[in-house]
Chain A
């Protein structure tokens, strides 16, 4: 990326305190996000994927300071977000908006669509009544909703329409950057495609920049320029979307991709079944956080946190992958193929004795 990124996240950490007892003593930390770094260029989309509890949602919220980050930096258009005072933060929030997963929970059922959309305009003191109405109409129209929707309540709309209203609410402030947190997960399959197309159209027309958070790998591939895979509070692999899907290097990425059921036989990968569950982020494993579930784990993985191995914009955190990359002289495709073979071999030999639990 030659240009200055619109958003740069550097070593972001967001920990939640676990309190217990009468005195609410702190007994531990949930390291929801623990050292995440990435950058998104203007008009680009970064897809953030991972399973529940990996911290992807917390990353989105920390960027907007809907939850306060514990450490690290978020730089939006040159300004350090964690350092901002209340007034500056409010001004910046006009430029960064968020769309949530659940269009049933995220729209206040007691408010008309007009009051839902107008709230942001009032808070940011944008325009007079007439101009506000204009803006609201434009935002609705852009999301394919009639202006008549303004006087109605959320419950009068279907899930897909509500998600369009939630998108209109974000757009009415004319932001530059949107955090899209699982924007289609709660919708029916036939409606998902409509909303995905709308989001892509809006990005092209309005020059928006997206952080697209989802567990739906196919949709992320479709929408994103670059994709980052999270596991237990960390990014384990990051690359251009096409590169990541063609040549995944991290064992977790490989397992994740292989687990997605597909209707196209040609698209099915040899399934790698991981044993166990994701460990609790309050007690992350030592060394590589994936090692207890990794079929390729070695002694070094149990002890040393794997550093980043960057290669032409493809970054992976894995000791085994790093060694394969070195052995192949930095040929990502060959290294990826070798890793996939190793995973398949390890997976099939273990397939008779898969156990759950014991993370």
Chain B
């Protein structure tokens, strides 16, 4: 009962769109069944902006990000969708290739080869992860690992879009020699110097000395800075930050966010910031996507989403953060849990309907993304964009408990729907 979208090319209209994602679906084919981790996801990333993706755990934020850079692990697979990326060289290269969709300077990355997509990691896209402690190889010094990333990019640039350049001299033979002969490095001196530069740029004191240290000698915040330095090695157009501050304590969080903001402004790059923290979104982002159960349920500018939320889920999220001006009212949590995302158990309806305080009979059909009030970009996947809530059509409160077979009723077990 997955929501198939017919193949239609939707190249981005605006030239300042760096990345345009359309109807991207990623599924995991597990033994329990097909899991629709990301379903029909669409959003745009403009030049020089920070796009926030917010949602609960398991709402498909990280999977969406990994899908962009083609790092979804088996048994997962990107099953459909378009990822339009603006790169004039790439567009020129593929303009005469019938199998690749090119529109102006934009190329649909889902139609190019896996090898070409991988070549974009580093110089075009880069990613930083949640836990800096586990994002560094414990057996190499921090400087060495950043130099390693520099080296990868240097080789990639010398021989663009070729995977061969990345493995040259890195076969097992070279590896054994390097392991057995002490003092032989994998990376050139220039790459090491560049690594120290990068460490300095992300505000690490004594970068030359810190570069010689191992990850366990770094604090979490310093390591996240080093991670950012590593991600900057390829001078990417787009940095994907997957919950970059979740593992850090609050004071360090602010420093890292400021650093990201500064780097974004300095370099004029774009950032996709994934978080479950609405405060981070409000502080950092120009535009926002709200994800729920693998779908983007609402997107728009920061004002659209924070001031005029249409989707009851967005309203629920905003209602569940404390208001410092008016701390009196009790916080309003969203009742229930995120659905399991198993294809068999996903009804053909709005996935939020079973938790939605405004569920109506119209919600038993799959809602499409439709424009909402506010700026021209404000869209929501909810019937309330077009109409008012009418209590007369409301579903009874125990509707989803009764029709367990249809929706994700009580028999799913697992997380236990309350």
- Is this pair of chains taken from one and the same complex? no
Q: Which residues of B contact A (CB under 8 A)?
A: none
